[in-house]
Structure 1
Amino acid sequence: MKTIFDKCKFGDLTLNSRIIRTGLWESQQTDLDAIYERYERIASSGVGLITSELYSIYPKDKFIEHSFRMDSMNFMTMARKLAEITHSYGVPILGQVEFIKYNRGIDLDISVNDLTVDDIRKIQSDVIEAAQKLQYAGFDGIQLAVGNNFFLSKFINPYYNQREDDYGGNVLNRMRMVLELVKVMKDNLDLHVSVKVNSFDERKDGFDSSESLEACKLLEKVGVDSIQVTRPLSPLYFTKKLSAEGELIDYTTELIDSVDVPVIVGGGFNNMNHMNELLNSTNIEYMSMYRPFVCENDFLKNWKNGSCDESRCLMCNSCYRTKKSTCYHF
């Protein structure tokens, strides 16, 4: 019988459990000691893999005040220390790289359709540079944000992408920018490359589940090491917990049968018994959690020792809405 605390293989990584901690906002940027303390509590709790908060590659990006800037003077100091902390507990760490807006000099917020091929090459080189920084800092891998509503998720979405060149049209063309990027990273860097992808999009003529499955198969072909499934408005989407979870579980189980790389599912999980039930009634092997780790960094300790089986997180989404890495209630 499988449990969330099984030691397991995750591609080229070994995990202490099936739980992946997903980060989002960083509101303690000026207090590195607070960040280190938070990561130590998470890493020591029994988590299997840590995905960092968002690391922004552009200084004028939309969420720059709530993300750690990769061009900041203390980024490498912070990143090296986080890798040291997590590895001391046998926990691998991925750096989550994202951006919302692409600016070309004085031309701000260039749309997907207005990117030149030179712009595409610039974005690809900027992400590769970010990956090189993570590798130099000792991170085990990178997670590329191609889900939620980040720029690359729009690039692969037919709702936004109406390009008529090799980077528009069918799924392969819309994925080409990301596929080229993943292949270069796999060919030149010693990193686990994970990609976060939307399962589907509720917009009319948007990225649907069949396109998402096709996109994930293409990612596997160019060497991606793992895929994390999400939704455009996650975690707000998962306030409609029962129906939302069912849709996501159905998609994830189909994806797992379609690719031969680890697949992570997240969807408002906060109850150990429910998660163990899913592990033993589906083909799901790995689950991600975000808000419970904000509420109580080391709550997994209590789950593991049997003192409780549910996070005290209220799933109120205050951490998401206020863009904080600390809990509003606790």
Structure 2
Amino acid sequence: MNSALFTPFTVKNVTMKNRIVMSPMCMYSSHKEDGHVQDWHVTHYVSRAVGQVGLIMIEATAVLPEGRISSKDLGIWNDDHIRGLKELNRQMKMYGSKTAIQLAHAGRKAMVDGDIFAPSAIPFNEKMRTPVEMSLDDIKHTVNAFVEGARRAKEAHFDIIELHGAHGYLINEFLSPLTNQRTDEYGGSKENRYRFLKEIIDGVNQVWDGPLFVRVSANDYHPEGLSPEDYVEYAAWMKEQGVDLIDVSSGAVVPAAIPVFPGYQVTFSEKIKHGAAISTGAVGLITTGIQAEEIVQNNRADLVFIGRELLRDPYWARSAAKELNVELAPPVQYERGW
């Protein structure tokens, strides 16, 4: 069978051997709470490379220690982190996978000691702490931290960088009117709310010349929040700045009831892809090869991000290939059992 899912995809100078992406998923496994790569990360990510995933995107990696989701998150806030990330990259690439890192700041959803920061001093819910409203100096410092994170990602030999602008974390908090109630140049209008991300993209482009992705939450699931139509406009602005692909997720900027079903976010990817004329990735309860094939075959997304299913099955790419009657070459060590 001719499979769209198993065709290569090229973005800038990077060609992935198939359209399967390991979605970034936090492992909460930096046990010394210093942000460093541990043995677990090597076992976890390299096994998916052996399983023939086209692009492995490692988990949300904090650009500042106060921007960690948890104290056990990976970090990229100082040069000491480069060595472990570089070795992780070397091992993943041995098996033909391309590699990406998601640069992140958790904003008001950070669960670490000390002050946490957000565009406005509004807690996520009654159980979470109230963040400190960021000053202009705080904003400048954080933009610079993303830029420095990108520089370190380049030194660690990642092929692709993704900025985490989804799931209610800091960039998402600036974009959404539900969480950004500032009255200065970073709040109010859609253009002002975009300014923080705009400055990050501009800064990253000064140190990074590879593919740049942005993950977004394309629906706030709230009548006063952002909709997929809003993100078509945001995506067009990102494209103008040189962003290559929008990784389309949804929700989590505020507590909300989300109607979840297989492929529930694919329509958002489709709308942004065609509305902004930009490449997209689809994510969300995509579990079978047939389902993933339909998404790519029908031009609803360019890449398919697989999350929990790759936790359950490191060799999901092999399972999908068998479903689709595609010959997928294994590592030579596994040929007798593939």
Tell me which interval the TM-score lies in, with the shorter structure as reference length.
0.7 to 0.9
Q: Which of 119-128 and 275-284 deviates more?
A: 275-284
**Partner residue of 1:266?**
283
Please report how far the alpha carbon of residue 302 of structure 1 lies from its aligned counterpart in structure 2 after TM superposition: 3.3
Gaps of 5+ in 1: 310-330
Q: Which moved more, 1:38-47 or 1:59-68?
A: 59-68
TM-score by length of 1: 0.82
Could you tell me which of 126, 133, 139 is aligned with 2:145? 126
AA partner of residue 75 (structure 2): R
- Choose from 72, 89, 95 the match for 1:83: 89
1:203 to 196, 202, 222: 222
1:151 has 2:157 as partner: no
The root-mean-square deviation of aligned C-alpha atoms, in Å, is 2.8
Q: 1:115 to 1:200 in 2, by over 3 A?
A: same
Shift of 1:117: 1.7
Q: C-alpha deviations, 1:104-128, integer Å up to 9, x for none?
A: xx98223313322211111100111
Q: What is the SS of the residue equivalent to 2:65?
A: coil
Q: Does 1:109 align with 2:116?
A: yes
Supply the distance in 1 between the matched residues of 2:146 and 2:312 (Cα, whole angstroms).
31
1:227 corresponds in structure 2 to 246
From the superposition, tell whether residues 164 and 88 of structure 1 become closer, same or farther in structure 2 (CA, over 3 Å): same
In the other structure, the counterpart of 2:267 is: 250
- 2:282 maps to amino acid: V
Aligned residues of 1:135 and 1:190 also touching (Cα < 8 A):
no
CA deviations over 1:83-113 (Å, ceiling 9, x no partner): 112222332211111122379xx98223313
Q: Distance in 1 between matches of 2:79 and 2:239?
A: 35
1:240 Cα deviation after fit? 2.4
Change in Cα spacing, 1:44 to 1:260, as seen in structure 2 (3 Å) is farther
User: Which segments of structure 1 move beyond 6 Å, counting only runs of 4 or more?
Assistant: 236-239
Q: Which residue of 2 aligns with 1:319?
A: none
Q: Using the TM superposition, give the Cα deviation of residue 66 of structure 1 relative to its aligned residue in structure 2, in angstroms.
A: 3.8
8 Å Cα contact 2:19-2:302 kept in structure 1 = yes
Query: How much does 1:308 deviate?
Result: 9.8
Identity %: 18
1:240 counterpart residue number: 260
Q: List runs of 5+ in structure 2 lacking aligned partners.
A: 32-36, 121-132, 327-338
Alignment of structure 1 residues 130-145 onto 2, 5 Å: 130-145=149-164
Worse-matched range after superposition: 253-262 or 23-32: 23-32
Measured after TM superposition, the shift of residue 305 of structure 1 is: 4.5
1:22 aligns with 2:29: no
Task: For residue 107 of structure 2, give the secondary structure of its aligned residue in structure 1.
Answer: coil
Q: Shift in Å at residue 2 of structure 1?
A: 3.8
* Counterpart code for 1:46: Q
Measured after TM superposition, the shift of residue 72 of structure 1 is: 7.2
Contact 2:166 2:249 survives alignment (8 Å): yes
1 CA distance for matches of 2:38 and 2:117?
33
The answer as to whether partners of 1:46 and 1:304 remain within 8 angstroms in 2 is no
Matched residue SS, 2:97? coil
- How many residue pairs match? The answer is 303
Deviates more, 1:272-281 or 1:119-128: 272-281
In terms of fraction of residues, the more helix-rich structure is 1
Match of 2:5 in 1: 4
Deviations, residues 175-234 of structure 1 (Å, cap 9, x unaligned): 111112112211332332211011111123112222111111111111112110001249
Which amino acid is 1:63 matched to?
I
SS in structure 1 opposite 2:301?
A: coil
Residue number among 42, 45, 55 corresponding to 2:51 in the alignment = 45
Letter in 1 for 2:211: H
Q: Residues 295 and 65 (structure 1 numbering): CA distance in 2 closer, same or farther, change over 3 Å?
A: farther
TM-score (normalised: structure 2) = 0.81
Distance 2:140 2:78 in 1: 23
How far apart, in 2, do the equivalents of 1:268 and 1:238 lie? 13
Which residue, 273, 287, 290 being the options, matches 2:307? 290
Structure 1 SS opposite 2:163 = strand
**Contact residue 251 and residue 258 of structure 2 kept, 8 A:** no
Distance 1:25-1:107 versus aligned 2 partners, 3 A rule: closer
Q: Per-residue deviation at 1:32?
A: 2.8
